[in-house]
Structure 1
Amino acid sequence: PLITAIGLSIVLQQLVWGFYPDAKKPRSFPEFQGESFKLLDNLYLQRADAFVLVLAPLCMLALGLFVAKSRSGRAMQATAQDPDTAKLMGINTDRIIVMAFAIGAAFAAVASVAYGLDKGQINFEMGFILGLKAFTAAV
């Protein structure tokens, strides 16, 4: 499935580039990186970094609460631990797997916004190398 996902990603990129040739051009992002504020005598924090420092714990808290407290989160835990038993208990494991990938995509979108704020521009292919590194780490 992972190799298929990478192949599908490349196919989708090529399709989008075929229909929207301007997608290859980098787009400027709102200027966030130039402004910073002083925390201590010699310690400055840029706005983009402050945004990430606030956003990351909020995302982790939201995901933790979702997994621990919601019915879908518990089903996700059960599916991760033993898919066959989860299926026997009436959990639609295919739906849970799709939901897990959707949650991952949502967090990837949040991360790409934070990454774009830090770099000052967004590019259609900017996440591909990061994705390959993540794939390498996972395998």
Structure 2
Amino acid sequence: MCYNLQARGVNVNKYRKGEIVKGCVTGIENYGAFVGLDEYYSGLIHISEISEGFVSNIHNFLEIGETIYVKILDIDDENYQVKLSIKNIDYKVRRKRTPIKESESGFKPLKNMLPIWIENKIKEINNDKNV
């Protein structure tokens, strides 16, 4: 970099090897995917660090703009770059599920409607046979 971020108060020792952190996929090339970790640090997931198996198309695993978890393999604090991996970790960031509220009526409305739906379907099938 052209300027000293440490002199500007940036924590250059923010990340550690082996740590799993959240990042955003900023670019995809044939050889790997670029991931931004924060406003200063970015890294590359080399194609060999995508999966244990053969990766013919990185787009089958990642897409630009996707937020993922990555494992830090190596850190270059001088250039604020990291080598990353998603191999053998659950890299997809899952959305939190909203709990389903149970209604007081439960399945009663379905139970009440089921005979009507069955009867209507039987009529529909019989009408199709008569045509």
Greater fraction helix: 1
Q: TM-score, normalised by structure 2?
A: 0.21
Structure with the larger strand share: 2
Of the two structures, which has the highest relative contact order with CA contacts closer than 8 Å and spacing of 6 or more? 1
Q: Which has the larger radius of gyration?
A: 2
